[in-house]
Amino acid sequence: MTSRRQLPGRDALERARALLTEVAAIDSDGPLARGLGRFGSWRSLAAVVGTDWLPLPRRASASTARIIRQRLRALGADPSTAAGAPGTGATTAELPDSDGPVQLRGTCARLRDGPGGDLWRASVVEDDAGLWAVEEGNDFVLRRDGGKATLVLAEGGRLVNADRLTEGDEVAVFGLPGEAPDRVGIAGAAFGRGGLCAALRSGPRHPLLVSVIRRYDQGNDGPQD
């Protein structure tokens, strides 16, 4: 998967910065602050500004602040621990609303037939039209505690707080849960290759987000503005 999107302008990012600072100040040690800290830097917020993860209307309002608080709490919450979907050997969180995104946390592994090198690279390029974010990502397996696996589908996704993702990185992934064809047999003996496996993917307004945990949990390893 290779995608290119124009980054929000400076004015939009400044509005996002001001609004988020005000919203997160009411919960400086709780899920709101942890959700904001997920990005590692103000610059990395550009990955989600203008999506349903971080809507940014022209004028701030009480309803806008409420929505943003809900989104930040979701990004700062503990990962899902629900049982896997019936009939699969992998873990897909179950939600009251199946259309809503969930968070899973685990370690990245390459697909058996995947290309070598980095699993994902994110960069910024500039041309006469402005700044563009370029995502070059591959589908990968997310292995959770106990070895259970979820397929992460890169299409439409965004690496939010790092410039590359490598095999063995610990990550938090936010996406829409479902099933996908198990083309490499990650679901185990119940189906094997050709069955279905649990998967996380992007939605129309909720791009899949991949956040590298070591980037914000270890003091000197985070991106700096």
Question: Are the beta carbons of 207 and 53 closer than 8 angstroms?
Answer: yes
Nearest CA-CA partner of 105 in 49, 174, 162:
174
Task: Identify whether residues 112 and 212 lie together within a single domain.
Answer: yes
90 falls in which pLDDT band (50, 70, 90)? Answer: very low
67 and 120 share one domain: no
Complete DSSP assignment for 91-123: -----SSTTS-EEEEEEEEE-TT--SS-SEEEE
Q: Is the dihedral of CA 171, 34, 58, 55 positive or negative?
A: positive
Range of 64's domain?
7-76
Task: Quote the mean pLDDT of the chain.
Answer: 77
145 or 109, which is more confident? 109
Residue 180 has pLDDT above 70, yes or no: yes
209 and 106 in a single domain? The answer is yes
- 54 and 115 housed in the same domain: no
Residue bearing the bigger pLDDT, 193 or 1: 1
Provide the pLDDT for residue 67.
79
pLDDT of residue 93: 35
Q: What is the mean pLDDT of residues 129-158?
A: 90
Alpha-carbon dihedral of residues 174, 180, 182, 183, nearest 10 degrees?
A: -100
Query: Regarding predicted confidence, which is higher, 129 or 187?
Result: 129
pLDDT at 219 over 60: no
| Last-in-domain residue among 61, 76, 91 | 76
59/24 same-domain check: yes
Chain segment 162-179, per-residue pLDDT in tens = 899 999 999 999 999 988
Q: Which residues contact 87 (CB under 8 A, 6 or more apart)?
A: 190, 196
Answer yes or no: do 61 and 137 share one domain. no
